[in-house]
């Protein structure tokens, strides 16, 4: 019965309450007036949330003043995301915390990944993990579990959602084990081109138990491209592809940050800004990435009811 109720809840969260994405803008591609109304309507509501206001709508002068602010930090002993860290996130759109988790929590996460690598499942998975192939270039094995399995990760997640959304939001916790199975990979729209996930301000959290070098498909982010200003609105109202192949994207692009990191690194990124997973450059490369996503439980109504 509980399982049945959970499925109904999931259906409502995924379909009816779903946070606005780019689909409407794609559907209305020839009607600029409708697109303008849609973008302005949702951004006007998001702006009323004072936490979202601080991170996404602050005047450009603030970003200019903090242009060179450092967004890379070492974790502190209480695993606190400090005000200084949040200021860096507000300015750059990305925050990197190195040495984030204690040894035993990192090892527990590595155990989940090794089950995905081996295809033998004993851990607390929500459902049996699945495998997907992309053009015979990459193989992705993925599975999900509950955040309550990871005390420190949960603490970071709660602090981040409280600060950014003004509410603690339970994330979906998705493990992705991605492997290059060809000699190289073709670029993919919505993944390996710099792109935006949705025009409404939102964030994702990532954790990598292992080191990521430049050839291991590191995450990239166009610095400060999350800030809602005239160029940002113009891009979403007039763009055709919502990615770097569109001429208008150049107004959002400045410095491209590449997240090459040591083992045990956590990072937060505002993925309404332009970002991508870079393509694999190392033969026989693989990547273990844990994604914390909030879109299912911070939905349409959360943006409307401020
Ligand atoms: Fe994305």
Domain membership of residue 88 as a residue range: 19-304
Ligand 1 mean position, distance from CA 48 (Å) = 25
**Does a structural domain hold residue 10?**
no
Ligand 1 mean position, distance from CA 205 (Å) = 12
Ligand 1 mean position, distance from CA 195 (Å) = 6
Ligand 1 mean position, distance from CA 78 (Å) = 31
Confidence (pLDDT) at 46: 95
If DSSP codes are grouped into helix, strand and coil, which group holds residue 224? coil
Ligand 1 mean position, distance from CA 1 (Å) = 35
Ligand 1 mean position, distance from CA 217 (Å) = 14
**Does a structural domain hold residue 3?**
no
* 61/200 Cα distance (integer angstroms): 21
Ligand 1 mean position, distance from CA 226 (Å) = 13
Q: Which domain CATH number covers 278?
A: 2.60.120.620
Say if CB 206 and CB 248 are below 8 A apart.
no
Ligand 1 mean position, distance from CA 284 (Å) = 24
Backbone angles phi, psi at 98, to 5 degrees: -90, 155
Confidence (pLDDT) at 265: 98
**Does a structural domain hold residue 4?**
no
Ligand 1 mean position, distance from CA 109 (Å) = 23
What residues pair up with 73 in beta bridges, in sequence order? Answer: 97
**Does a structural domain hold residue 1?**
no
Ligand 1 mean position, distance from CA 276 (Å) = 6
Confidence (pLDDT) at 12: 66
**Does a structural domain hold residue 261?**
yes
Ligand 1 mean position, distance from CA 199 (Å) = 12
**Does a structural domain hold residue 9?**
no
pLDDT in tens, the chain (306 residues): 667 777 777 776 666 777 888 888 888 888 888 999 999 999 999 999 999 999 999 866 566 566 778 999 999 999 999 999 999 999 999 999 999 999 999 999 999 999 999 999 999 999 999 999 877 788 899 999 999 999 999 999 999 999 999 999 999 999 999 988 887 777 777 778 899 999 999 999 999 999 999 888 899 999 999 999 999 999 999 988 888 888 888 999 989 999 999 999 999 999 999 999 888 877 668 899 999 999 989 988 899 887
Please state at what angle helix 32-48 crosses helix 230-238, rounded to 10 degrees. 140
If DSSP codes are grouped into helix, strand and coil, which group holds residue 55? helix
Question: Which residues have C-beta within 8 Å of that of residue 107, sequence separation ≥ 6?
Answer: none
**Does a structural domain hold residue 41?**
yes
Ligand 1 mean position, distance from CA 84 (Å) = 26
How many structural domains compose the chain? 1
Say if CB 156 and CB 266 are below 8 A apart.
yes
Ligand 1 mean position, distance from CA 92 (Å) = 17
Question: Model pTM?
Answer: 0.91
Query: Residue 36's CB: how many other CB atoms inside 10 A?
Result: 16
Ligand 1 mean position, distance from CA 2 (Å) = 32
Ligand 1 mean position, distance from CA 185 (Å) = 17
Backbone angles phi, psi at 102, to 5 degrees: -65, 160
Confidence (pLDDT) at 8: 72
Ligand 1 mean position, distance from CA 229 (Å) = 21
**Does a structural domain hold residue 203?**
yes
Ligand 1 mean position, distance from CA 272 (Å) = 8
Ligand 1 mean position, distance from CA 236 (Å) = 15
């Amino acid at each position: 019965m509980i399982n049945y109720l959970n499925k109904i809840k999931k259906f409502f969260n995924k379909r009816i309450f779903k946070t606005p994405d780019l689909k409407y803008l794609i559907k209305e591609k020839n009607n600029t007036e409708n697109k303008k109304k849609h973008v302005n309507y949702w951004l006007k509501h998001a702006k009323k949330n004072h936490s979202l206001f601080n991170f996404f709508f602050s005047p450009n002068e603030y970003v200019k003043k903090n242009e060179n602010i450092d967004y890379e930090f070492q974790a502190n002993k209480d695993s606190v995301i400090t005000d200084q860290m949040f200021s860096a996130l507000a300015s750059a759109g990305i925050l990197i915390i190195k040495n984030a988790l204690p040894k035993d929590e990192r090892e527990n996460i590595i155990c989940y990944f090794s089950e995905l690598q081996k295809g033998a499942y004993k851990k607390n998975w929500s459902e049996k993990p699945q495998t997907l192939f992309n053009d015979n270039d990459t193989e992705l094995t993925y599975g999900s579990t509950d955040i309550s399995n990871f005390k420190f990760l949960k603490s970071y997640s709660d602090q981040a959602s409280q600060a950014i959304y003004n509410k603690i939001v339970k994330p979906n916790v998705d493990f992705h084990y991605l492997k290059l199975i060809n000699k190289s990979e073709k670029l993919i729209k919505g993944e390996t081109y710099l792109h935006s996930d949705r025009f409404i301000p939102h964030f994702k959290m990532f954790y990598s138990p292992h080191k990521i070098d430049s050839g291991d498909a590191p995450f990239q982010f166009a610095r400060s491209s999350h800030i809602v200003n005239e160029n940002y609105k113009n891009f979403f109202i007039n763009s055709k592809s919502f990615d770097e192949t569109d001429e208008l994207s150049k107004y959002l692009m400045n410095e491209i940050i590449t997240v090459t990191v040591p083992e045990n690194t956590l990072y937060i990124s505002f993925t309404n800004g332009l970002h991508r997973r870079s393509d694999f450059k190392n033969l026989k490369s693989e990547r273990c990435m844990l994604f914390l996503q909030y879109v299912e439980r911070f939905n349409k109504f959360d943006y409307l009811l401020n």
